[in-house]
Structure 1
């Protein structure tokens, strides 16, 4: 800009008029592209002062500058100063009004033109298409005397942009019949139309036409072919088109990057991303999103930082993805830095950004900051139910159910997600009575529960072993026509099993068309805990024949079944197979279950040796299981060693003391039993009381037993 100004002032317009005009035109072009309207006005004044502002080329360029800056008053003044009709000027005015959305004014200008060219007609055709007025656009297309490839392409592109891909293809066939040859823009649009309607046979025909017409080397056409190939599922064909391209732009690389991302091949996608000679915001955002979706939030954030370091500007979608990644990492400080960046560029009121920020602060335990973001959202009372749901979910995540319920009660509008959010919150914090209360309120409101809501309420029913509630929910699920998918089927299986109706549980399980490892685990555990140990083991062996791999809970359930059915050797076989066959490293619960299994069968010395051979410090439950076996089989020597280890591990573990006292009592060693009870009193230890419940008329009643181990 400065160089152009220096060049302008160094030229004498009287002696080098043409050079002066050319410099002015270049300067106006730069001013227009950079939207420097103040500088443009100053130059306009200078041209008026020199008396050359009415030169035709300068007038047109000044008009374009003012139209580009939406300065309609200045533009109209320039038009008034023109002597007579100017076709170029009128076309500029028509295009500007179309850009501004003033289609009626553009139409008025067009109708008032004494003559028109292909630019005039194409402007109306593409303009009406751009604003979704397809019928009016086609009215002008059909009356257009200049039926060239540009007007045909404008109509075809317009059909595709407005979702009328089939009509676009029909018009393309008419174009071919008319003898007009398509250009690269026409072919790009037709490729998109084929992809939209999933007409792969026609897509292959378009491939042939493109090669026959010699457009297979055009970058934009190749990019469209790659996208079409991907949509057709022809990954090798897409890669072949890419490899044969002599020139590639950033879109080419981004499209082929999309190919491997859609395939789920993150490693190959990253290799291509690293090879890209040029990247844009889209390619960066695509990789960041994929890393976050694939469970690598650290890498997603690392790429985001690299993106901003290279001066790329993330869009709203990219910011929301990064905030989601930071929420997964609970990285509060980094999240606050991104929040500051969002505030700086002024997109904090975007609903996706706001919801991502609420989620971030909630997952980091900072609900006060999340509420500040929520309160700053404009029009949340009317439009953004999602924002209310995010804030309710945030409160529920942090156990602030009073605040969640207050916000829920004040919602101007609710959806099924709103109800699910508040119900899930109560479920998470084991407030089962409130889960049922809110669910009943939901039904009375007329809102139809979704599968997620039913799963939550079924989980609450399972937790309180409420068979009546489980049956009632099952009936509602059938009435609403929900299929036994993985989520609902598993929840129903678990509810019936925990409520003691193992036959109904098995029926639901058998009717499920699809099962995952959780479904199998729930049924295996349900059978084991209901006393059907052999059936549980048989089901596990049936699971082994499928392609589903057991998880650590499945193995734990099988060990439990073996323990309660006396199948010690089979249980040891499963335990020893965990790492070599199932690739599951045993944890403390698995070791404790084996100790319990050995202790129940009277193999106390073997159980003690097993505890001593553990690869980590045994917990109190392992020693307590051994101690329980000692009580059953009256082994005082091992019991005393077990209690000593319990004392070392947990000074405040009363169950071990009670067991030892009972062992002494059953052996007639009343003084030793009294001494253990006395020691408990001195330490202030009490065994926790028992708890039971019963359901009467859909109301669950709990009963607690207080125990007092203080000797009289």
Structure 2
């Protein structure tokens, strides 16, 4: 093969971006260099060959040929080392990168602009305590925008925000104008600092220099405004982009979801699919939590199918999101299956499954998983302790809960927070150890809030301890005079004790101060549509059918032994009125609608915004038995799985 043949092969390599074709020609060139060693073209051709190998991921081929060059006495050119440095970086081989740097210095290429830029990029990718990035940068006789951008981006990616911003100022002092890459590196800093003013200044600079239409700048602006809770500006920046890629779509989806606009986030996701933009793996990590918050199980299942088709199901971040979504949407069985199949589990996935089991009444499973996590070498975090304490609270595992709480500071170096104290107060209160719970809160290591005392007030109501409740409500109202929940709970405690005058006084005071009780409300998803019911609500278009079915079902339940417990009706009215109030509680209406609107055997899933009352809890056990279905009700503290006349909570909630 002649020298001109080598040139032909080089032209084919440079012309063809296809990996298979390029590497085929590269191997031809490799063979040609071996045959014609010592020719003038060998140094240039070797650089092209190594660049081809590196760009197509054949990293070991690049390094092997570099070693072969010494044997062939081929002198390396300055164009060679950027590719070799990239290969060492991709291989995460720091000693190799350092040896290449030594070769560069020996050959005098360290003063070459492109080689020095490659060195800066290489060192910025490695954690280097000696700050070799700055040393190489400071030694450069000439620097271009790429040099500055590489250092700035490296600083920003490592969380060195102050240093990154200082470099931007230095860049300006060096009479070099920041470009779109510079701006896309610094905008995330202002997003992290939630510095809206500085972010707007960068936006203004981008507009003045025509960078605002750049898709990378646009995505950074969308993200910055969303993290600064300026969702309106975020959406406006998105719509002003002339072209949108997967990154910009993902930025707007994540920003709607992060700001609690779950419906809007899902809407953007649907638009993205209509635009035939293929979702990134991170897109699902953003949108699945929206399904979890909306408890939109049907949509979540559709997304899960999409994830499987795209082969993203082995992504641990997506898998963790799915575990959390299925648990929050009431399907703990599928959540556990996904968790068990995960090859690598991080703290997020462990915490999601432990909390899921806790919320579904599988307390022993939650505790067992927590212990398994410790054996696996994963150190529990703040939220993981919340999960295991919640599990202990919901199952009455007082000794276990206290053991975990006491182990936090000494064994794991985690100072208990207000949520942990509230969980222990709840643990003691549910178990009837009310005075112990009072002393525990009174002697807390941090100042208790109204919400911590409220857990004990709820326990006082459950255990009908009026005297302690009065002490506790005074504590709450001293800290939070406008705590409507405390007034409602205390009013209910008085009503349950038939102290109607005291209950009336509280209600009159609430009206005078403008406090409004949150109405009991339940939701059920049927046919991809969410139906809402209030207590005694007759506005639903199917109300007549619901009422008729409810009467038939009540007769069947009474034949099975169900008796309405009117003691739970906290109003001074006659027995007949109490019966009417009970039978039309919002969760009962939602359940009956679900029964008449779905096929036999379908699981009924209902969400309620407040605690399920004792009589409804009893009634739903009978409903599940009569209709032969599983009924899952999520109230404001946990899930209840009703099946065959019993509940997963074991009547302890």
Given the two structures, how large is their TM-score scaled by the length of structure 1?
Answer: 0.63
Shift of 1:513: 3.2
Q: Paired residue for 2:328? A: 498
Is it true that 1:171 corresponds to 2:3 in the alignment?
Answer: no
Q: Identify the residue that residue 585 of structure 2 maps to in structure 1.
A: none
Could you tell me how far 1:678 is from its partner in structure 2?
4.6
Q: Is the CA contact 2:319–2:342 (under 8 Å) kept in the aligned structure 1? A: yes
In the other structure, the counterpart of 1:213 is: 73
Counterpart of 1:242 in structure 2 is: 101
| Alpha-carbon distance in structure 2 between the residues aligned to 1:647 and 1:200 | 70
Using the TM superposition, give the Cα deviation of residue 560 of structure 1 relative to its aligned residue in structure 2, in angstroms.
0.6
Give the alignment partner of residue 119 of structure 2, picking from 252, 256, 264. 256
Match for 2:380 among 532, 547, 550? 550
For the pair 1:516 / 2:343, whether they are aligned, the reply is: no
In the aligned structure 2, how far is the partner of 1:478 from the partner of 1:650? 49
> How many angstroms does 1:393 deviate by?
5.9
Aligned counterpart, 2:158:
294
Distance (whole Å) between structure 1 residues aligned to residue 188 and residue 268 of structure 2: 29
Task: Name which of 436, 449, 456 aligns with 1:619.
Answer: 449
Return closer, same or farther for 1:273/1:633 CA change in 2, 3 Å cut-off.
Answer: farther
CA contact (8 A) 2:37 2:74 kept: no
Q: Using a 3 Å threshold, how does the CA distance of structure 1 residues 618 and 239 change in structure 2: closer, same or farther?
A: same
Using the TM superposition, give the Cα deviation of residue 195 of structure 1 relative to its aligned residue in structure 2, in angstroms. 2.9
Aligned equivalent of 1:651, options 471, 481, 490: 481
Q: Give distance in 2, aligned partners of 1:368 and 1:601.
A: 48
| 2:64 aligned with 1:204 | yes
Q: Which residue of 1 aligns with 2:564?
A: none
> How do 1:419-458 residues align onto structure 2 when only pairs under 5 Å count?
428-431=260-263, 435=266
Partner of 1:323: 187
Match of 1:595 among 425, 429, 433: 425
Asked if structure 2 preserves the Cα contact closer than 8 Å seen for 1:686 and 1:709, the reply is no
- How many residue pairs end up in the alignment? 531
Change (3 A) 1:229 1:370: closer
Shift of 1:586: 2.7
For the residues of structure 2 that align with 1:541 and 1:319, how far apart are their CA atoms?
46
Verify the 8 A CA contact 1:537 1:558 in the aligned structure 2.
yes
Question: When you count helix as a share of all residues, which structure comes out higher?
Answer: 1
Q: Aligned partners of 2:47, 2:510: CA distance in 1, in Å?
A: 83
Structure 1 residues 221 and 329: CA distance shift in structure 2, 3 A = same
2:147 to 274, 283, 288: 283
Measured in 2, the distance between the counterparts of 1:252 and 1:513 equals: 40
Distance 1:637 1:514, change over 3 A: same
Asked whether the 8 Å contact 2:393–2:430 carries over to 1, the reply is yes
1:386 is the counterpart of 2:250: no
Shift of 1:470: 5.0
Residue 455 of structure 2 aligns to a residue whose secondary structure is helix
Match of 2:366 in 1: 536
CA RMSD of aligned residues (A): 4.4
Deviations along 1:532-589, one digit per CA (max 9) or x if unpaired, are 1111111111122224333322211110111122222221222233334444333221
Preserved contact between residue 359 and residue 391 of structure 2 (Cα < 8 Å): yes
CA distance 1:480–1:326, change in 2 (3 Å): closer
CA distance in 2, matches of 1:672, 1:179: 102
CA-CA distance at 1:376 after TM superposition = 7.2
Match of 1:181 in 2: 39
Q: Unpaired runs of 5+ in structure 1?
A: 1-137, 143-151, 400-423
Cα offsets for 1:620-655 (capped at 9, x unmatched): 111111222333444444333211111111212233
What is the deviation of 1:429? 1.9
CA distance in 1, matches of 2:91, 2:322: 39
Q: Using a 3 Å threshold, how does the CA distance of structure 1 residues 636 and 319 change in structure 2: closer, same or farther?
A: closer
**TM-score (norm. length: structure 2):** 0.68
**Unmatched tracts of structure 2, length 5 or more:** 538-568, 574-653
- Structure exhibiting the larger radius of gyration computed from Cα positions: 1
Structure 1 distance, partners of 2:510, 2:230, is 42
Q: Does 1:309 align with 2:169?
A: no
Superposed, which structure 2 residues align to 1:49-448 within 5 Å? 141=4, 156=10, 159-160=13-14, 163=17, 164=22, 166-168=24-26, 170-171=28-29, 173-178=31-36, 180-182=38-40, 184-196=43-55, 198=58, 200=60, 203-210=63-70, 213=73, 215=75, 225-230=84-89, 234-243=93-102, 245-246=105-106, 247=108, 248-249=110-111, 250-265=113-128, 268-270=131-133, 272-273=135-136, 276-278=139-141, 279-339=143-203, 341-342=205-206, 347=211, 349-357=213-221, 359-360=223-224, 364=228, 380=242, 384-386=243-245, 390=248, 397=255, 428-431=260-263, 435=266
8 A Cα contact 1:494 1:523, kept in partner = yes
Determine if contact 1:540/1:558 at 8 Å carries over to the other structure: yes
Deviation per CA, 1:263-317, whole angstroms, max 9, x where unpaired?
3447645454565354443332122212333344443323222222233344432
- Check the 8 A contact 2:38/2:72 in 1, yes or no: no
1:335 deviates by 3.7
Name the CA shift for 1:664/1:219 in 2 (closer, same or farther; >3 Å).
same
The whole-number CA distance in structure 2 between the counterparts of 1:469 and 1:171 is 53
- Relative distance call for 1:343 and 1:666 in structure 2 (3 A) is closer
Provide the residue aligned with 1:526 in structure 2: 356
Higher RCO structure (Cα 8 Å, ≥6 apart): 2
Judged with a 3 Å threshold, the aligned counterparts in structure 2 of structure 1 residues 203 and 667 are, in CA distance, closer, same or farther, namely closer
Distance 1:369 1:499 in 2: 32
CA distance in 1, matches of 2:516, 2:240: 52
Residue 609 of structure 1 deviates from its aligned partner by 2.6
Asked if the contact 1:370–1:391 (Cα under 8 Å) also holds between the matched residues in 2, the reply is: no
CA contact 1:223–1:252 (8 Å) conserved in 2? yes
Deviation sequence 1:386-417 (CA, Å, 0-9, x none): 39x849965994x7xxxxxxxxxxxxxxxxxx
Give the conservation status (yes or no) of the 8 Å contact 2:238–2:252: no
Pick closer, same or farther for the CA change 1:709–1:304 going to 2, 3 Å: farther
Take 2:236 and 2:328, find their aligned partners in 1: how far apart are those partners?
42
Query: Is the partner of 1:428 in helix, strand or coil?
Result: coil
In 2, Cα distance between equivalents of 1:649 and 1:376: 47
Per the alignment, residue 602 of structure 2 pairs with none
Q: Answer yes or no: is the 8 Å Cα contact 1:502–1:530 preserved in 2.
A: yes
| The 10-residue stretch of structure 1 (348-357 or 646-655) with the greater mean CA deviation from structure 2 | 348-357
1:596 Cα shift?
0.9
SS, match of residue 323 in structure 1: helix
